[in-house]
Amino acid sequence: MGHRSYLYLNKSSEAFIAFEANNSLPFFWLTLIDSKSLADKIKEWKAFEIASTGNEIDNDLLHFQIDLEKFQRNASTGMHFITSHFPKAVSLYKDFIKALENTFEQEDKLLIEIDQFSAFYESLDAYLQDLTEEINAIEQNKPTHIRFLYDEDLIASGTGFASASLKRFSALPSYQQALQHKRKIATIQNKYLFKKQSLALFIVILLVCPVFTWAIFRGFKEEGFSATVLLLGIANIGFYLYSVWEIITQIKAYKAEKSDR
């Protein structure tokens, strides 16, 4: 299942999920949280951690609650920051903010739930430190300190996945392009992922192939040109070609990983 994060819109009539993320912390969401809200939430989290005795967790403790005024103010800061330093993310960020604005009314609240992501850290303090540094970097205009936004995947690091309730946003070119790019990157990574075990396996197969070639040759000398010999011969050639192909693929993947380091 992974560690999930959610961005809700809490309206007077209902609350619904607008965006969600799995094993990532979308940076666009963080631009909507200011340092004071974070500091207040840290006090609540730490107080709960100290007092917790297995009691049921109050959802208000887990969520950052953002009203319309705070949303507009923080979104303006985020827009300036992203426009200045992350041009590839500008179009998607604009559409992300607009999609939320279009459904945000005066009495509504935006709820951001990101507590599960802390499971990737050794301690809650380490997680809160990273959050603090990220939000301070936005407010203090320090792009080199940003760690959660990366152009290679603006879904995981930017918007998160749009829910079915935001169909118009999901159909926008900026979101679709980011989604397609994410899938393309994932396909390339899966296709060319270097694995020592796979390389070793195909080397062994290649080394064993001559043994079967000798066995097939002996069968040919004893039985002549038969259907069995033909089928075994074709299979043997197939193993040669397949193992050589996979060995070359793994070598390319190794070189690609080495060059990226």
Delimit the domains of the chain by residue range. Answer: 4-189, 196-260
CB 134 within 8 A of CB 127: no
Residue ranges of E strands in the chain: 4-10, 15-22, 63-66, 109-113, 161-162
What digits encode the pLDDT tens for the residues 108-119?
999 999 988 988
Please check the confidence at residue 252 and state whether its pLDDT lies above 50. Answer: yes
pLDDT band at 255 (very low <50, low <70, confident <90, very high): confident
Alpha-carbon gap, residue 96 to 152, rounded angstroms? 18
pLDDT at 11 (0 to 100) = 86
Report pTM.
Answer: 0.70
